[in-house]
Chain A
């Protein structure tokens, strides 16, 4: 079997397993899984930029929040039907990514991280400033009646799980395809050596801007889906913490792999879930994991797998 068909098989396999899990898992864990899948979409979007292109953004929460608020505010205040509002949220994230990318990509390295961090902080403060509409930290709830598409109730466990799976599946396959295209390969080339890529005649700035917008779009999809499925929109999702989370997930799972983000979110979610049973200071776990990862496994779990067993892992 060629590496390509192996990887195709793996992607389909992951989706089949996720499909089957719903019928095996108890309700509580199925609920967790739908949350994990939505967050994995966010992580995958981040991974495109960080793992594949080598651009570390510390402000991705603004795209997640743009999707979330773009969707939440238009359904709640604007009364738009769900699909339209969803599309609006995603477009918001894309436009924001375009503007941020246009400005922030003038910088590189540390400056890029800090510029994105600052933009995200501005976005967070803007959310707080318009507290009359956004309700600030407290956030707002999207009514159950507004959370259904074509008669399917998205508040039921089944509806929620399969919507999450559908959206995750589409994004998962899209990204798996994207990184195999010449465009995706060029991104990896930029990560490895930007100077040389440019010398070979690729417009690296254009590629970086494109992937930032694509990454922002995926983050926006995740944000809007989160609001749609769990019915809550709040400023917490725009904080620095939510910009750090995708970094942790991707690093834990394995940067620059298609499956890594899902693995990372899964492990981190249950790690926090279990540890918060013991203590309020569950973020301690995040810290310890980050330090241990940088020391011992800089390529994450999927990176380890790829090195040891599955050399074909995309």
Chain B
């Protein structure tokens, strides 16, 4: 393949990564924005979503699409409930003290991960995609016969990957509508701005926190449900998404939702493109280092405000 088609393929891969990343990072960003909690266990909620998808699709049987639809509804709900329960049981009791919540969520990380290891074992579990038609993509080139459309070998994607991108976009729009147009969104925004004043005005801050923590975890799980037909479910799979989501949230600006979306697209695309053209380890080294440097010189991120 020439450089052009190669680049197009890389950007398509990047778009899929961005789509998953935007959901995962959004969950982390909402939790941080509203609750000021750095949820280190976020990656494990993602992993749980993937593992549950495998579990549900393997019970349901029949056409893979039936199991997948069941999983896309049930898995995020279950994970969300679990997270809300953890919030009530643990985070609430430490009064959302920043240092202690980090330690507590590190603890939750190991509890969830190791419980999965004990019940599922160390093997990776594949999930069949509900539909997976191969689509060849055209490439336009200025050749000897003038402008022509060619179908380069290897330049193709699958219908499922396109679906992932569309689904992520739809979820984002829905989320935006909920946050800006509904009463629930209003309560969340009020809590985010000033939880004490909100409480004084009768906002049930404790409940909002549980809901938000559940919602954040549910978004991570939803991202995982979408990714699992492309990757495989494994008990250690939460590690990379956690780091990437952290990077995205920080680069975007802690607590800034539009910043998170922009950063997710930026990072997802560059991750996809860099790892096609360069050695993946080197790409990761450069990326992690750059992120650290962005944070050093611009601690508030791209769109964040300086808040102390």
Contact = CB atoms under 8 A, between A and B. Distances in A.
Interface in A112-132: 113-115, 117-119, 121-122, 125-126, 128-129
Given A107-B296, A110-B254, A287-B107, A294 B100 contact: yes
Contacts, number: 115
Contacts of A279: 118
A294 B104 contact: yes
A158 B199 CA distance: 63
Contact of A115 (B111, B112, B254, B295): B295
Contacts of B243: 121
Contact of A294 (B38, B107, B254): B107
A113 B299 CA distance: 12
Interface string B164-177: 00000000000000
Given A113-B102, A284-B110, A104 B117 contact: no
A274 interface: no
A107 B301 CA distance: 12
B106 interface: yes
B1 to A, nearest CB: 27
A232 to B, nearest CB: 22
Interface residues of A, number: 41
Contacts of A290: 103-104, 106-107, 110
A107 B288 contact: no
B106 A244 contact: yes
Contacts of B239: 240
B107 A291 contact: yes
Contact of B100 (A115, A119, A283, A298): A298
A56 interface: yes
Contacts of B293: 103
Given A126-B285, A279-B118, A283-B110, A293 B299 contact: no
A281 interface: yes
Interface stretch (B91-99, B125-133, B141-149, B187-195): B91-99
A189 B18 CA distance: 44
A56 B100 CA distance: 11
Contacts of B102: 56, 113
B90 A295 contact: yes
Interface in A276-297: 279-284, 286-295
B107 A288 contact: yes
Interface in B108-126: 108-115, 117-118, 122
A284 B103 contact: no
A111 to B, nearest CB: 5
Interface of A: 56, 103-104, 106-107, 109-111, 113-115, 117-119, 121-122, 125-126, 128-129, 240, 244, 247, 251, 279-284, 286-295, 298
Given A125-B288, A280-B122, A292-B107, 9 more contacts: A56-B102, A113-B38, A115-B295, A122-B289, A280-B118, A286-B107, A288-B111, A289-B107, A298-B94
10 contacts: A113-B38, A113-B102, A114-B246, A122-B285, A247-B106, A281-B115, A286-B107, A287-B110, A291-B108, A291-B111
